[in-house]
Chain A
Amino acid sequence: DTGVSQDPRHKITKRGQNVTFRCDPISEHNRLYWYRQTLGQGPEFLTYFQNEAQLEKSRLLSDRFSAERPKGSFSTLEIQRTEQGDSAMYLCASSFEGFTEAFFGQGTRLTVV
């Protein structure tokens, strides 16, 4: 297992377009997290899944953002009608349930022009 994989690594899109990112967690990790990070800030929690169930979603997340984790394996994060303020690094992490460490992917850097 090579760790948490995110695709694409970089995405440039025009304002108003939809984008989708993919995260492949470490095999058998049942928890999966999505974060957004802008320059100089810590990762901002967006949502997390336990298996296929989305258990929590940040109240700061607008309805333009949606995440899925079908079958409890990989996850996708979609942003509809992108805005310049969506430009950021989007990070995914996975872990086992319980008091264990999370492993992060390298992130997807989104630039909205």
Chain B
Amino acid sequence: DAKTTQPTSMDCAEGRAANLPCNHSTISGNEYVYWYRQIHSQGPQYIIHGLKNNETNEMASLIITEDRKSSTLILPHATLRDTAVYYCIADDMRFGAGTRLTVKP
């Protein structure tokens, strides 16, 4: 079973920041947190990963709480093309059902 839990779905207005939460209270101290997204009919695509510190790349930012029990993926300016299912996983590479993000015009 996956070590992470996420809300089933979220909506976001185009151009606004999308903040996707993930709970991972059972991961160990040296386990990374990874985020992937899956657009219909394609394989999951890597977004970002982190251990303790906040991370940022060209796609997104990852904020990990100090106790490492949860994290938030931030898409700073969501576009319609960001509509997808977003998965938060740990090193064990087990996926849950993810969060279906719908970006609305």
Contacts and interface: CB of A to CB of B under 8 A. Distances in A.
Interface of A: 4, 33, 35, 40-45, 48, 91, 93, 99, 101-107
A99 B31 CA distance: 8
B43 A93 contact: yes
Interface of B is mostly: loop
Contacts of A107: 42-43
B44 A48 contact: no
A91 B34 contact: no
B97 A99 contact: no
Interface of B: 2, 32, 34, 42-46, 49, 51, 85, 87, 91, 93-98
Contact of B32 (A35, A93, A99): A99
A94 to B, nearest CB: 11
Contact of A104 (B43, B49, B94, B96): B43
B43 A44 contact: no
In the A-B complex, the 6 residue pairs with the smallest Cβ-Cβ separation, listed nearest first, are A104-B43, A42-B95, A101-B46, A43-B95, A99-B32, A42-B97
Contacts of A48: 93
Contact of A43 (B32, B44, B46, B49): B44
A7 to B, nearest CB: 14
Given A42-B87, A42-B98, A104 B45 contact: yes
B43 A42 contact: no
Contact of A101 (B34, B43, B87, B98): B34
